[in-house]
Every structure is written in structure tokens, then in C-alpha cells.
Amino acid sequence: MKNSTNGSPELQNKTPPERSKKMNGMKQKCLVLSASTYSIEDEKTGKTNAGITVFYIPTDTLAPQIDEMAASRGQISFGIQPSKVSLPYEMRSKVVTAPAFYDLTFQMVTRQLKTQIQPVDIDYIGNVEVFIDKVGV
């Protein structure tokens, strides 16, 4: 009599893998450029979707950066590309000012067989201090 696990002896005695393992978050220092709350009501269901939209630069320095991979292909690419994430509305009290430095914590989640990196926490580090060199003064 064959087992419903394809009949192979290797698969018959194996227990299924855990599907909802919690992974440790990955922290990244970043410069939050702006943050704003949103609240959108679904007209069909009446359900409200609320959160915080955060635009940030994934770095803790504003030092000039050059994309070495692009340079190796003869292309020019420099600077830092801003990113955008949505945080749960409940985290609004953790985003205290912008621009400012924060620790953004991400977790890998699987939804509909796609693995994505999702922000799960944000912690304020400090304000941005801007120094401008005055040439010839």
C-alpha cells in the first residue's frame, strides 16, 4: 500500500517542515527623509487601511558613493537611491522627526509563495547635523 506522500520511502517518514518560523529581524541604519500617515477606506468592504509612508536612504552616512558595478560596465551611477516603505499606523509615535537617523528592522515573510522583506520596527537614533564648508570665506 502506497503512502500519500508520493510512495517514496524517503518521504513517507518525514515530518512536514515548520511553515511559520519566526526569523530574527535584520536592522539597518537609515536616514529617514520624510514620513506621513495615510488612511484609505475600501469602498467595497468599508475596511480602513492606515499606515505610515516612509521615504528613506539606506545608509548612515552622506559620504559620496559610486556604484562600482556600473562603473565596471562603463556606466556612470553615483549617489544613493531613496527607498519607500509602509509601516503599521501603530508605529506613528516612534517616528518623531525627519530628516533624522533611525534603525529600521526588517523581517523576511512569505506571502502567496513570494518571499519579501517587510519592515517590522523603527527606532529613532538622532537628528541630522548638516555642515556646509564655505569655500573662500
Distance CA 108, CA 102 (A): 20
How does DSSP assign 8-52, residue by residue?
-HHHHTPPPPPS-PPPPPEEEEEEEEEEEEEEEE-TTT--EEEEE
Q: Which parts of the chain have pLDDT scores under 50?
A: 1-23, 132, 134-137
Range of the domain at 56: 20-127
Whether 136 maps to a domain, the answer reads no
Give the DSSP H/E element, type plus range, for residue 101: strand 100-111
Whether 1 maps to a domain, the answer reads no
Q: What is the pLDDT of residue 121?
A: 94
Whether 55 maps to a domain, the answer reads yes
What's the pTM? 0.69
Whether 108 maps to a domain, the answer reads yes
Whether 8 maps to a domain, the answer reads no
Q: What is the pLDDT of residue 24?
A: 65
Q: What is the pLDDT of residue 78?
A: 82
Q: What is the pLDDT of residue 112?
A: 85
